[in-house]
Amino acid sequence: MTPVQQLVLEAGLPGSTPRRDRAPTVRDDSLPELIEWAVDERLTGLLSHAIEEGALAVESDDLANQAHDAHHSVLRTALAAESAAVRTVALLADLGIEAYAFKGVANAHLDYPDPSWRTFFDTDLHVVRSQFGDAIDALLDAGYTRTSLRLGARWERRFARACELRAPSGVEVDLHAEVATGYFGVVLDYKSLRADAEPIVLADQNVFAFSLPARALISCYSIALARGPGLRLQRDLAQQLLALSDRWREVVDLAGHEGAVVVAQSFGAVASMYPLVSFEPDALAWASTVRPTTNGRRALALAEDARSVGWSADARSMALALGPVEMARFGGGIAVGRLRRKRRSWSPNVS
Amino acid sequence: MNVRLGQANGLVEKQFVRAQRVVWRVLRDRVMVHRVDASPDSASTDLIGPVALVWLALDEPASMAEVTTRLAEESVEVADVEAELGRLVAAGLVLERDSEPGGREAIEPLMAVGRLAVYDTAVLVNASAPLVTELASALADLIVSTDRHHLWEAPGHDDPLHFLQVEQAGERWTVRWDGEPSYSGQSMDLALYDALIVLNQHAARTAVAAGRTVLHGGSVVIAGRAVVLVGHSGAGKSTLTAALARKGHAYLADEVVAIDGNHLVDAFHRPIGLRSGGAAALGVHMPDGPYDSILPFRPGPPLGDRAPLGVVVVLRRSETPVGVQLTELNPPQALIELTNQTLGATGGEREMFRRLDEFVRTARVVELIYSDLSEVVAVLEAAAVEPGARRRTE
């Protein structure tokens, strides 16, 4: 992390008020790389804000405009993703299926002073496991398409964490039965997670999002289990922790005994990333005392494996949470599904 | 450009409200708006300057006076609130509704059809969903952009921007030009037809204002020269224009043919209006759609650019078999014939006559009487390549 990148990450956070007379100047030849980094990490909003508020100086107005133009372009994609969220939620609601927005669209509107600071390229929606299959079918009927072949219809309804779809507009819509990968996603108390949902009004429609503690918990899982640096996720959690203040224990309660280690790791990661920000000292003190459960430790190790090995490590992590009968169905379904996949040509909507 | 909002028919004072099904963001110098239900390439719009400020002032429904007050309270200066509201209404981003309860039904969300180039003006066309596809198809040869990101940019920085809106509210269709209602009724067919007529009227006004001689007829380019077909209603102007275009001659214009002082004919690629008889004569199928009476027919490529005038042909159709009779008209005869075929500004008749008089002294005008369409095309093709303009007579 370069000092300039750190400044971008801190833009707009309390405790990071810029001193214009001390603002580092980004050289002409390094701005394109910085912009590319910001686009990849979904941080163009913070970069644009950092330049606007004087936390970063650039050598010429033309180059400042390049950064703003990059953000403008990314924001247009975010609005398209937001539109997809609105349409998808409405479609499902017509069928009595409640969908909850989380990550990008939810965090942008609920956790940032200006939703333009937080961009996203896709839409993440959670539905109850019992309605997961029906929700997928409904969206496929409405013209959405799968982006990858599934293993089997029954296996998907019972075990699949999420289904990646593409809306008719071209936007990626990820429908989640579980909001975290592997073991942690299976053991979460989703009923508690969905309680106290907060409405966001988008296009004159109420779109429900998870509550603040639930959003923070999901950020923790995303940071701990992510396959990339997850810089925007860490910024999300920083915003959420500041808003939670002394309510941080609600995040721990939602995580339960098994998930506490993930929350603790994430609290620590964010505190390290943002040394200037005053997070609740009790939260950091608590984080230093947490020890993982046996399954939690194994799941975290598998998550580490998944970063290099991929999906099979996630599957093994999930299996930690299953009883023997369910494990047989889980493993058997994977085997049969793979056999079927080999036998037919790839078609996104084959049921 | 001054867009005046509709105040016709004693309607009660209007309230303005942001369109539903729109998501948006404020960026440092603009408001980015995205329609949820629009097609991906026409969904996004940037509002910049005063129009963005007016949008932001509409966080709750308000009358024009209330919007003005809100802006003043924020110490925000907008020179012409009415004009900016008119732009937003015309673009379908803001809806007008009667402020009294029981007022007319809310307008169906407007979607962008596209930005047209009509001579040196830009026209932004929006319509309620049932007519979007039909209008987009009919106007495809005039559309220069469907990118709403460039909504407010006119072709040249001084070129005026106009708005054509075809809106549905309940059973009622209303066509508005620059905010003023043109047609209001229950026929989608007539709304579509009126929208095309309104566009013609704009083209004619613009051409007249630019000093053109404007004839009511059609035009194609044959052997590098424009052949202009005029005549009374039913003479076959549009049918013959379409027939020649289908033979591969570049289509130039229909309904409005604008000719400058150097006898250059401008392009106006509106769809050719074919009646059922003309469509049948050409073997063009009248598909199901909101055009029982006139089919907006796009002849396809090639589309012509400005071309030097070859000949003006005054068409007459005979009910009895007469073959094809072609007669050169002298200036006085041409003046008489073309007076009825010339479009001019109301109150500008003297100037119109002056231009026409000058025109007929130097342009070649012929009368063509025919009974069978199939015999005419070859004659017209030959007539187009005969010696050009008559010399100026003193």
Q: What is the DSSP letter of A155?
A: H
**pLDDT tens digit sequence for A28-41:** 788 888 999 999 88
Nearest residue of chain A to residue B30 (CA atoms)? A72
Cβ contacts of B37 on chain A, cutoff 8 Å: 87
Question: Among A68, A72, A202, whose Cβ lies nearest the Cβ of B23?
Answer: A202
pLDDT of B342 reads 85
Distance from CA of A88 to the nearest CA of B (A): 11
* A104 reaches B (C-beta below 8 A): no
**pLDDT tens digit sequence for B231-261:** 988 888 999 999 999 889 999 999 999 999 8
Distance from CA of A116 to the nearest CA of B (A): 6
B50-57 vs B64-73: helix crossing angle, rounded to 10: 100
pLDDT of B319 reads 85
Q: What's the number of CA atoms in the CB half-sphere (13 Å) around residue B327?
A: 13
**pLDDT tens digit sequence for A205-231:** 889 999 999 999 999 999 988 766 689
What is the amino acid identity at position B351? Answer: E
What CA–CA distances, in Å, run from B88 to A311, B50, B178? 50, 11, 11
The verdict on a CB contact (< 8 Å) between B27 and A75 is: yes
In the block, which residue shows the tokens 């000058």?
Answer: B358
* A116 reaches B (C-beta below 8 A): yes
From the list A165, A8, A177, A199, the residue with the least C-alpha distance to A84 is A165
pLDDT of A241 reads 94
pLDDT of B90 reads 84
Q: Using 50, 70 and 90 to split pLDDT, how confident is the model at B215?
A: very high
In the block, which residue shows the tokens 């009790």?
Answer: A282
Q: What is the ipTM of this complex?
A: 0.82
Nearest residue of chain B to residue A88 (CA atoms)? B36
How many C-beta atoms lie closer than 10 Å to residue B328's C-beta?
14
**Region of B285 on the Ramachandran plot (φ > 0 left; ψ -120 to 50 alpha; else beta):** beta
**Region of B60 on the Ramachandran plot (φ > 0 left; ψ -120 to 50 alpha; else beta):** beta
pLDDT of A307 reads 63
Q: Using 50, 70 and 90 to split pLDDT, how confident is the model at B357?
A: confident
What backbone phi and psi angles, to 5 degrees, belong to A110?
-105, -20
Q: Burial level of A134, CB count in 10 A (0-12/13-18/19+)?
A: middle
Spans of chain A below 50 pLDDT: 345-351
* B59 reaches A (C-beta below 8 A): no
How many C-beta atoms lie closer than 10 Å to residue B20's C-beta?
14
Confirm if B84 and B54 have CB atoms less than 8 A apart. Answer: yes
**pLDDT tens digit sequence for B3-57:** 334 333 333 468 899 988 899 999 888 999 998 888 777 788 999 999 999 999 9
Q: Burial level of B51, CB count in 10 A (0-12/13-18/19+)?
A: buried
Helix (H, G, I), strand (E, B) or coil at A147: coil
Question: Among B22, B37, B43, whose Cβ lies nearest the Cβ of A80?
Answer: B43
pLDDT of A174 reads 96
Alpha helix stretches (DSSP H) within chain B:
50-57, 64-73, 81-90, 129-138, 188-209, 237-246, 276-282, 331-339, 349-362, 373-384
**Region of B91 on the Ramachandran plot (φ > 0 left; ψ -120 to 50 alpha; else beta):** alpha
Distance of alpha carbon B119 from alpha carbon B155, whole angstroms:
10
Distance of alpha carbon B218 from alpha carbon B272, whole angstroms:
8
Cβ contacts of B17 on chain A, cutoff 8 Å: none
Distance from CA of A226 to the nearest CA of B (A): 28
Residue B192, pLDDT > 70, answer yes
Q: Which of residues 216-275 of A touch B (CB under 8 A)?
A: none
What is the reported pTM?
Answer: 0.60
Cβ contacts of A115 on chain B, cutoff 8 Å: 25
In the block, which residue shows the tokens 């107005």?
Answer: A61
Distance from CA of A71 to the nearest CA of B (A): 9
Helix (H, G, I), strand (E, B) or coil at B60: coil
Residue B1, pLDDT > 50, answer no
pLDDT of B391 reads 37
pLDDT of A313 reads 67
H or E stretch at A200: strand A198-202
**What does pLDDT average to over chain B?**
82
- Number of residues written out for chain A: 351
Structure tokens at B5: 């909002």
In degrees, rounded to 5, the angle at the alpha carbon of residue B330 between the alpha carbons of residues B328 and B334 is 90
* A172 reaches B (C-beta below 8 A): no
Distance of alpha carbon B74 from alpha carbon B54, whole angstroms:
12
Alpha helix stretches (DSSP H) within B127-236:
129-138, 188-209
Q: How far out from the chain centre does Cα A127 lie?
A: 15
Structure tokens at A268: 């620590």
* B21 reaches A (C-beta below 8 A): yes
**pLDDT tens digit sequence for B116-138:** 889 888 888 888 878 888 888 88
How many C-beta atoms lie closer than 10 Å to residue B180's C-beta?
16
Question: Which neighbouring-strand residues pair with B48?
Answer: B30
Q: Using 50, 70 and 90 to split pLDDT, how confident is the model at B347?
A: low
Distance of alpha carbon B84 from alpha carbon B94, whole angstroms:
11
Give CA torsion, residues A275, A276, A278, A281, to 10 deg: 30
Distance of alpha carbon A266 from alpha carbon A268, whole angstroms:
5
**pLDDT tens digit sequence for B142-160:** 988 776 544 444 444 455 6
- Number of residues written out for chain B: 394
Question: Which neighbouring-strand residues pair with A44?
Answer: none
Cβ contacts of A204 on chain B, cutoff 8 Å: 20-21
How many C-beta atoms lie closer than 10 Å to residue A241's C-beta?
27
DSSP string, A8-35: HHHTT-TT----GGGPPEEPTTTHHHHH
Q: How far out from the chain centre does Cα A9 lie?
A: 17
* B35 reaches A (C-beta below 8 A): yes
Tell me whether strands B307-317 and B365-370 are parallel, antiparallel or unpaired.
Answer: parallel
Distance of alpha carbon B196 from alpha carbon B177, whole angstroms:
11
Distance of alpha carbon B294 from alpha carbon B166, whole angstroms:
18
Q: How far out from the chain centre does Cα B299 lie?
A: 17
Confirm if A255 and A261 have CB atoms less than 8 A apart. Answer: no
pLDDT of A343 reads 63
pLDDT of A134 reads 94
Q: What percent of chain B has pLDDT over 90?
A: 27
Residue B306, pLDDT > 60, answer yes
Residues 6 or more apart from A199 whose CB is under 8 A from it?
Answer: A206, A207, A208, A209
Q: Using 50, 70 and 90 to split pLDDT, how confident is the model at B300?
A: confident
pLDDT of A122 reads 94
Tell me whether strands B264-265 and A25-26 are parallel, antiparallel or unpaired.
Answer: unpaired
Q: Which of residues 97-156 of B touch A (CB under 8 A)?
A: 149
**pLDDT tens digit sequence for B51-91:** 999 999 998 889 898 999 999 888 888 888 989 998 898 88
Distance of alpha carbon B156 from alpha carbon B39, whole angstroms:
27
pLDDT of B394 reads 33
Q: Burial level of A349, CB count in 10 A (0-12/13-18/19+)?
A: exposed
Residue B175, pLDDT > 50, answer yes
* B285 reaches A (C-beta below 8 A): no
pLDDT of B151 reads 46
Distance of alpha carbon A123 from alpha carbon B181, whole angstroms:
41
Distance from CA of B90 to the nearest CA of A (A): 19
What backbone phi and psi angles, to 5 degrees, belong to B272?
-75, 130
Residue B293, pLDDT > 70, answer no
Tell me whether strands A25-26 and A57-58 are parallel, antiparallel or unpaired.
Answer: parallel
pLDDT of B314 reads 94
pLDDT of B291 reads 55
